[in-house]
Amino acid sequence: MRTSDILRAWTRILDGHRPSLSLEITRECPLRCPGCYAYEDQHLGGGKTLRDLNDRKGRDLIHGVLEVADRFRPLHLSLVGGDPLVRYRELEILVPLLLERGIHVQIVTSAFRPLPAAWAALEHLNIVVSIDGLQPEHDLRRKPATYDRILKNIAGQSITVHCTVTGQMMKRPGYLGEFLEFWSPRPEVQKVWFSVFTPQIGDDLPEIPDASERARLIEDLLVLRRRYRKLDMPEPLIRQLSAPPHSPEECIFALTTQSISADLETRITPCQFGGNPDCRSCGCIASMGLAAVGGHKLAGVIPVAALFKASRKIGDWRAGRNRIEDPKPAPVLRVLQ
Ligand code: SF4
Ligand code: SF4
C-alpha cells in the first residue's frame, strides 16, 4: 500500500466513512464447500442465515448495489456471495458503472462459469479466484468448480489466485511450492495470495493449522516469495501471520471495512466472517496486510494503526453514530435515469 492510498483512506475515515465495503450480492452458490463461513448459522449473528435473506436480481440488484455504493462511497468494493457470478448478467452492467465512480472493484468467485470477456480489459478490476489447494483436494471440495473448469473459464483473463491454507495442506511438506509451481506459470494468473483458514471461537477442525504448522507456513512463504514473483505477499504481511490481531477492535481491516449481506441491508459483524471469529487464529490476507501497514509510521513518527483508530473515533463523532451505521440514502441514483 502506497502512502497516497493510506492518506486517501485516512481522509475517508475522518469523513465518517469506511474506505472499504464488502457486499454479498447473492445468497446463491452452486457449490457446497465444507467449512464455508457464509452459510454458517451464526454468520449473520444467529436467527436469519444467508439463505433466508431476500436477495435481489436484475435491475433491482443493479440499482440496489449502486445505491449502497453511492451512500458509502468506498474506495474499494469487494463483491462476494454466495458466488457473485450467479449474477453475471447484472455484474456485466454493474462493474463498469462502479469503476466509473472511481471505485476499485474486486470480485471473489470460484469461477464455476466463464468470466465475461469484457472484464479482461478493465482497469481497477481484480478478479480473485478461490482455489482450495492442489487438484485432488480442490476438486473434492469445490466440485463443480473443478481445476479443469476453472482453467477453461479464466482463459484470456487476468486473475488473482487465492488459496486458503488448511491444516491438511500443511501436513504435506512442499504443498505450497507445488501449488505455486502449477498456477504461477499460467499467463492468466497475475498474482497468487494465500490466507490461512480462520475458525470461529471454539471450533476444533482439521482445517485449523496447529502452531508448528503455522510457523512452518510462514517459513515456507518467506522462501517461496523469493522464488515465485507472482506470490504477491510482502515479507511484513507474511510475518504478521504470527501475530494476528487479538480482537476485532484491534483489527484495522474490521475497523475500515463495512460488510453487508445479500438483502443489501443486513450488516455482517465484526468482519466479513461474521459470527464470533477467532481473531487470534485469523489468517485473512486482508487483515494481515492492513495489520502490517498499521505498523508503519507516517513521516517516521505516527503509527498508521494509531492514526486510523483515532480517526475512526473522530469520524464517528463528526458524522454522528447513525450515519456510520445507517447512512441516509443518496437522493439521486444516476443509473436509474
Ligand atoms: S464457493 Fe464460496 S460461497 Fe460458495 S460454498 Fe464455496 S466457499 Fe461458500
Ligand atoms: S478479519 Fe480476522 S482479525 Fe479481523 S476481525 Fe475478522 S477474524 Fe478478527
Q: What is the pTM of this model?
A: 0.89
The list of the chain residues with pLDDT below 50 reads 322, 324-337
CA atoms within 13 Å, Cβ hemisphere of 72: 29
Interatomic CA distance for residues 77 and 25, integer angstroms: 12
Whether residue 254 has its Cβ less than 6 Å from ligand 2: yes
Ligand number nearest to the C-alpha of 112: 1
- What is the C-alpha separation between 53 and 40, in angstroms, rounded? 13
For 294-315, the DSSP string reads: HTSEETTTEEHHHHHHHHHHHH
Q: Where are the alpha helices (DSSP H) in the chain?
A: 3-14, 58-72, 88-100, 135-142, 147-153, 167-170, 175-183, 211-227, 235-240, 252-256, 285-294, 304-319, 321-325
* 36 in contact with ligand 1, CB cutoff 6 A: yes
Ligand 2, atom 3: closest residue by C-alpha: 279
What is the predicted pLDDT for the residue at 310?
74
What does the pLDDT read at residue 101? 97
Ligand 2 in reach of 112 Cβ (< 6 A): no
**For ligand 2, is residue 270 a contact (CB within 6 Å)?**
yes
CA of 287 from ligand 2 middle (Å) equals: 6
DSSP string, 253-281: HHHHEEEE-TTS-PEE-SSTT-SSB-GGG
Using the mean position of ligand 2's atoms as its centre, give its distance from the Cα of residue 281 in Å: 9
Q: What domains can be seen in the chain, in order of their start residue?
A: 22-296 (3.80.30.10)
Q: Looking at residue 311, what is its pLDDT?
A: 73
The neighbour count for residue 307, using CB atoms within 10 Å, is: 18
CA of 122 to the centre of ligand 2 (A): 30
Q: How far is the CA of 336 from the centre of ligand 2 (A)?
A: 36
Confidence (pLDDT) at 292? 86
Return the residue whose CA atom lies nearest to atom 1 of ligand 2. 287
